[in-house]
Amino acid sequence: MPNHELTGFNTGYTRLYNPDNNQWIGYQDLQGNPYAGNATLFQYDAHGNPTTYKRNTLTFDADDHMISYNGAYFQAGYTGDGLRAWKSSTANGTTYFIYDGSDLLAETAANGNVTCYNTWGDGDLISRTTNYRDRLCI
């Protein structure tokens, strides 16, 4: 299968794309040798949604909205409109996201305490404030 190439600067590899649907299908080195793990890096469902992305698992609903991400470093769940509802990692625990429309207003810890506040004005983010010195807003 022919592939389109996008060469990174000084990266030592090129990305391979399927010309029929522009899906990213893997890597090859600068000599044209395919990366041996390409088959497990990127997989797609019948609708073209990536179900495996760099060995992380993505799940989509019947309307092609991503509803979950399960990776090596964190997991996340999404609402039906594509907004991230929660994120969980062993390093930071679980964070929940509260929206007004598509504007992220706050983040809460699993215990319900608000950890981050966002202030919006005229559709733009004005400020982002955290309540805990040791907790990053993500």
pLDDT digits (tens, 9 = 90+) for 43-87: 889 898 989 888 889 999 999 988 999 988 889 999 877 888 999
- Rounded to whole angstroms, what are the CA distances from 21 to 9, 42, 105, 131? 24, 14, 36, 45
Q: What is the mean pLDDT of the chain?
A: 81
Nearest to 43 by CA among 31, 28, 62, 59: 59
**How much is the pTM?**
0.64
Boundaries of every domain in the chain: 1-39
Q: What is the pLDDT of residue 97?
A: 94
Q: What is the pLDDT of residue 41?
A: 78
Q: What is the pLDDT of residue 7?
A: 44
